[in-house]
């Protein structure tokens, strides 16, 4: 049985991002699911000076991220649902990564070592469901930084054989309603295959 943690990041509940969230949840069906809406939860994205000073300390005393860390340790599938803004994740989602994927939660650096050891080996699948205002070509030229964050940065802190799925609707501003619905259908089908 899949244990899916779904992180959604968009300030508007009536957004296309939230429509995609609905299709993700429909695709997950009978899976065990935990959903975190970062905006609805009032997640604080910015890292304080003290938090930065102590970012390599044990996360045990960091009560504001404890529930997020517990969810990451619980899931085997992580699904991020968000719009791509300025070639990457929205600031709130990036802040969630910065503040929650910390030493003691996502990685550890053993004494004398110069390589991080991943701690989220329970996560075997990472999925991004996102939209882009620009075309696939423009994103390719820009280097797809959001996709790289998922496939190169987050994935290496998960199970060694963790697989990634990138579901992106490019050029959303110029898409017809039929094309948008087709993307939502595709999202639901692909998510259903995960469970």
What percentage of residues in the chain have a pLDDT greater than 90? 74
d(CA 71, CA 68): 5
Show the domain range for 190: 3-194
Query: Is residue 12 helix, strand or coil?
Result: coil
User: How many structural domains compose the chain?
Assistant: 1
Higher pLDDT, 5 or 146: 5
Mean pLDDT within 17-35: 96
pLDDT for 38-89, tens place per residue?
999 999 999 989 888 887 777 777 788 999 999 999 999 999 999 999 889 9
The CATH code of the domain that includes 46 is: 3.40.50.360
pLDDT score recorded for residue 61: 76
The reported pTM is 0.94
d(CA 187, CA 74): 23
pLDDT for 164-176, tens place per residue?
999 999 999 999 9
Confidence of residue 96 (pLDDT cuts 50, 70, 90): very high
Dihedral sign, Cα of residue 175, residue 179, residue 181, residue 187? negative
């Amino acid at each position: 049985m899949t244990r899916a943690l779904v992180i959604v990041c968009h300030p508007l509940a009536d957004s296309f991002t939230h429509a995609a969230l609905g299709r993700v949840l429909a695709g997950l069906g009978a899976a065990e699911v935990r959903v975190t809406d970062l905006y609805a939860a009032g997640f604080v994205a910015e890292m304080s000076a003290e938090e930065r000073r102590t970012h390599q300390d044990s996360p045990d005393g960091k009560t504001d991220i404890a529930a997020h860390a517990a969810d990451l340790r619980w899931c085997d599938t992580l699904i991020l649902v968000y719009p791509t803004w300025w070639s990457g994740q929205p600031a709130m989602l990036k802040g969630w990564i910065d503040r929650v994927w910390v030493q003691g939660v996502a990685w550890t650096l053993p004494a004398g070592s110069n390589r991080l050891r991943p701690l989220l080996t329970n996560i075997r699948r990472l999925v991004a469901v996102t939209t882009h205002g620009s075309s696939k070509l423009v994103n390719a030229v820009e280097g797809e930084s959001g996709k790289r964050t998922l496939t190169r940065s987050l994935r290496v802190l998960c199970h060694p054989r963790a697989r990634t799925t990138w579901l992106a609707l490019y050029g959303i501003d110029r898409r017809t309603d039929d094309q948008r619905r087709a993307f939502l259908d595709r999202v639901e089908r692909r998510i259903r295959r995960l469970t």
